[in-house]
Amino acid sequence: MKTSKRSILFPILFFIGVNLIILFLSRLGLSIWQIERVNDVSGWLPLLLQGTRIDISALCWLFGLPALLSVLLCHSNIIGQIWKIILRLWLTIGSTFILFMELATPAFIETYDIRPNRLFIEYLLYPKEVFTMLANGHLFAVLSSSIMTLFAVVIYWKLSGWAVKSFIFPNWKWRPVMFIAIATTMFIGARSSFEHRGINPAMVAFSSDPLVNSLVLNSGYSVMFAIQQLKDESRSSEQYGKMSAEDIFSTIKATQQRPASDYISNEIPTLTYNEATYKGKLKNIVIILEESLGAQFIGALGGKPLSPEFDKLAQEGWLFENIYATGTRSVRGIEAVISGFTPTPARSTVKLSKSQRNFFTIAELLKRNGYETSFIYGGEKHFDNMASFFYGNGFKTIIDEKDYINPDFVATWGVSDEDLFKKADSLFKQWNKEDKPFFSLVFSSSNHDPFEFPDGKIALYDKEKQTRNNAAKYADYAIGKFFKLAKNADYWKNTIFLVIADHDSRVAGASLVPIQHFHIPALILGNGIEVKKDKRLVSQIDMSPTLLSLAGISGAYPMLGYDLTKNIDPNRAFMQYNQTQAMMKGSDVVILEPKTEAKGYTYNKETQHLTEQQLPEKLKKEALAYALIGSYLYQNQLYKLPEAINSNKNE
């Protein structure tokens, strides 16, 4: 059969049509899957209309250049033949990427309650850990997506071959006209707006539910937008609004409940001198950072009955009942707990280039005070760039998976929590015997998808073994075993322990910021620690100043958190959720979204519901100042200790 002649733009238009259908069907299927949440925000019309707008924009960006090149290069000569092959590759690879991202979306939403975004990219940097996790916990999704993607490559390649046959080549005098017309059309389609800025996720967001807003996008667009943001992350906080550096610091200092004389450096704007409450022999500090152990898993905080060991320990120490994580990633928790750093919409400073040396951590401060400093982990130290950050900022010793001899249990993310705590206990005994004060960050990993832990340790909460609830219960079991070891060791009497979560597990919800999933446990234990339940609203960034004060470390540091041993009520917490940041003061919440005016809400802790309301402009300004300060300090490398400082007046 003779093939009819086609326009040189036919392959582009055909593949745009195919991809529009695929993206529409994918969005429709995802929306039906999440029908309750779409219905709750009356979202069908804006979701489908704005979704089509996003798809057209994305496809104009993807296929605009080959459309223009086709006008210039399509001909019956050798250049035209080479261009046909390049065009087929472009159409096949681009369309396969779009389909693959949509196939990967359901599993990603199931885990993170949002379309693939920056987190998707960051995980690709660690293929061994991620693919092992996927193989152990999401095997069907991996296999089915892989098979369908391979089929798609073959089908798209054949379709592209069919589409590039029998062109009608336009007269050369018309090609400049075609070029201008196509360039104009593609530019307008890609921008999808005649306003100052082209289309972006904030422009098509219409609800208070982040998942529904993400369904408006397509996953390929979402990931490419995230890549663009990574390039611009040094200025990422500016998307919330602008404020001069002078205004940022004056606003924040006015909220810090301390005299201006406390700020002791012209070079380092947040550097203050801080007098410790405890005045005796310097104490050891151990931070046990628990993977994904949110308040929802802690009985003592009103969560599920999965924490009998923690609940018993809570009767022996200082329990914070109203503390909130700064983010949803482990590195964000690390940044907050050991550096006291406020969150930003950029990646955590653990992963950024300018913070790999001379960035403040309490390890660096304690090292200057003669402490043995360490990071003890059961997985691989390179993950999330932890080794580089720790070695460059005061940590002398790093223990990772290769340092465990014949561990009892090894899972996807490393050795079990029990193996981790046995190693920590042995090192603490060694340093104590050498009469060295020590600081250690001990980071657990068992409570992580695919939730692998040793058999026979706990009575399962869920019938199926590898679940979040069972892994959380095992994590609690291991905490109990560690403290039995610690209480029988000589180092117990001179050590301050903090047990705290890095973040909650699967932070999600039909709210701009699901505040209930930032609520975490924090418990300070040790010889001489007063038993109490603390109801003050506090943040992870308050933990390091408090630990230093309890350990007897008086000194200068740039942290903005509060020493909670003092008679002071911070009554605020900061939460970064994807590209949204919240500042909560009491029950008032200011939410900052990219390129959008700050909005005020009231948070009801009982119903876990945010209700929009007018809040004072002063409060919104304070929220913006805190959102901007981290990026400013990082970019200008001002979050540090002075080069030479007598850190401790006891010396």
Burial tier of 97 (Cβ tally within 10 Å: 0-12, 13-18, 19+): middle
The interaxial angle of helices 78-112 and 44-73, nearest 10 deg, is: 160
Q: What pLDDT is stored for residue 415 in this prediction?
A: 97
Q: What pLDDT is stored for residue 3 in this prediction?
A: 57
Residues 156 and 297 in one domain: no
At residue 196 the predicted structure's pLDDT band, cuts being 50, 70 and 90, is low
Please tell me the chain's helix, strand, coil percentages from 3-state DSSP, rounded to the nearest 5. Answer: 50, 15, 35
Residues 120 and 261 in one domain: no
Q: What pLDDT is stored for residue 511 in this prediction?
A: 79
DSSP 323: E
Single out the residue of 620, 600, 604 nearest to residue 612, CA to CA: 600
Residues 552 and 474 in one domain: yes
Could you tell me how many residues make up the chain? 651
At residue 650 the predicted structure's pLDDT band, cuts being 50, 70 and 90, is very low
Clarify whether 348 is annotated catalytic: no
Residues 207 and 303 in one domain: no
Report how far residue 558's alpha carbon sits from residue 301's, in angstroms, rounded to the nearest whole number.
31
Q: What pLDDT is stored for residue 646 in this prediction?
A: 42
Q: Which of 197-201, 329-333, 572-576, 633-637 has the lowest mean pLDDT?
A: 197-201
Q: Does the CA dihedral 314-320-325-331 come out positive or negative?
A: negative
Half-sphere exposure of 619 (CA within 13 A, CB side): 20
Residue 141 has pLDDT above 80, yes or no: no
Q: How many helices (H) and strands (E) does the chain have?
A: 20, 20
At residue 478 the predicted structure's pLDDT band, cuts being 50, 70 and 90, is very high
Task: Output the domain CATH number for residue 495.
Answer: 3.40.720.10
What is the domain range of residue 135? 6-231
Paired with 497 in beta bridges are 286, 525
Please indicate, yes or no, if residue 520 is contained in any of the structural domains: yes
DSSP 518: G
Residues 481 and 540 in one domain: yes
Report how far residue 34's alpha carbon sits from residue 248's, in angstroms, rounded to the nearest whole number.
41
231-246 burial, b at 16+ Cβ within 10 Å, e below that, comes to eebeebbbbbbebeee
Residues 36 and 103 in one domain: yes
Annotated catalytic residue: which of 192, 237, 330, 445? Answer: 330
Please indicate, yes or no, if residue 585 is contained in any of the structural domains: yes
At residue 649 the predicted structure's pLDDT band, cuts being 50, 70 and 90, is very low
Angle CA(608)–CA(288)–CA(504) in degrees, nearest 5?
A: 25
Q: What pLDDT digit, counting tens, does each position of 95-105 carry? A: 999 999 999 99
Asked whether residue 122 is marked as a ligand-binding residue, the answer is: no
Residue 651 has pLDDT above 50, yes or no: no
Asked whether residue 503 is marked as a ligand-binding residue, the answer is: yes
Please indicate, yes or no, if residue 50 is contained in any of the structural domains: yes
Residues 227 and 286 in one domain: no
Residues 210 and 251 in one domain: no
Domains: count for the chain: 2
Residues 540 and 566 in one domain: yes
* Cβ count near 646 (within 10 Å): 11
Please indicate, yes or no, if residue 433 is contained in any of the structural domains: yes
Given the structure tokens 């409060």, which residue do they identify? 619
Paired with 108 in beta bridges are none
Q: Which residues contact 397 (CB under 8 A, 6 or more apart)?
A: 372, 373, 374, 375, 427
Residues 453 and 531 in one domain: yes
User: Of 118 and 550, which is predicted with more confidence?
Assistant: 550
Report how far residue 73's alpha carbon sits from residue 83's, in angstroms, rounded to the nearest whole number.
7
Please indicate, yes or no, if residue 249 is contained in any of the structural domains: yes
DSSP string, 384-429: GGHHHHHHHTT--EEE-GGG-SS-S-EETTEE-HHHHHHHHHHHHH
Residue 233 has pLDDT above 70, yes or no: no
Asked whether residue 138 is marked as a ligand-binding residue, the answer is: no
Q: What pLDDT digit, counting tens, does each position of 362-389 carry? A: 999 999 999 999 999 999 988 888 999 9
Please indicate, yes or no, if residue 264 is contained in any of the structural domains: yes
User: Of 591 and 234, which is predicted with more confidence?
Assistant: 591
Please indicate, yes or no, if residue 37 is contained in any of the structural domains: yes
* Cβ count near 586 (within 10 Å): 11
Q: Which of 42-56, 191-205, 383-397 has the lowest mean pLDDT?
A: 191-205
Q: Are 238 and 581 in contact (CB under 8 A)?
A: no
* Residue 636 CA to its chain's centroid (Å): 23
Please indicate, yes or no, if residue 318 is contained in any of the structural domains: yes
Can you list the pairs that 135-141 forms with residues at least 24 positions away whose Cβ atoms lie under 8 Å? 136/412, 136/450, 136/452, 137/412, 137/449, 137/450, 137/451, 137/466, 138/107, 138/450, 141/106, 141/107
Residues 182 and 310 in one domain: no
Residue 354 has pLDDT above 50, yes or no: yes
At residue 236 the predicted structure's pLDDT band, cuts being 50, 70 and 90, is low
Mean pLDDT of all residues in 559-579: 95
Mean pLDDT of all residues in 169-182: 91
Q: Does the CA dihedral 346-347-350-356 come out positive or negative?
A: negative
Report how far residue 548's alpha carbon sits from residue 439's, in angstroms, rounded to the nearest whole number.
11
- Rounded to the nearest integer, the mean pLDDT of the chain is 92
Q: What pLDDT digit, counting tens, does each position of 262-319 carry? A: 999 999 999 999 999 999 999 999 999 999 999 999 999 999 999 999 999 999 999 9
Paired with 411 in beta bridges are 414
Residue 551 has pLDDT above 80, yes or no: yes
Single out the residue of 346, 342, 120 nearest to residue 233, CA to CA: 346
Report the DSSP pairing between strands 580-585 and 588-592. Answer: antiparallel
Q: What pLDDT digit, counting tens, does each position of 333-346 carry? A: 999 999 999 999 88
Residues 192 and 279 in one domain: no
Report how far residue 235's alpha carbon sits from residue 239's, in angstroms, rounded to the nearest whole number.
8
Q: What pLDDT digit, counting tens, does each position of 430-471 carry? A: 999 999 899 999 999 999 889 999 999 999 999 999 999 999
Residue 232 has pLDDT above 70, yes or no: no
Q: What pLDDT digit, counting tens, does each position of 142-174 carry? A: 888 889 999 999 999 999 999 998 888 888 889
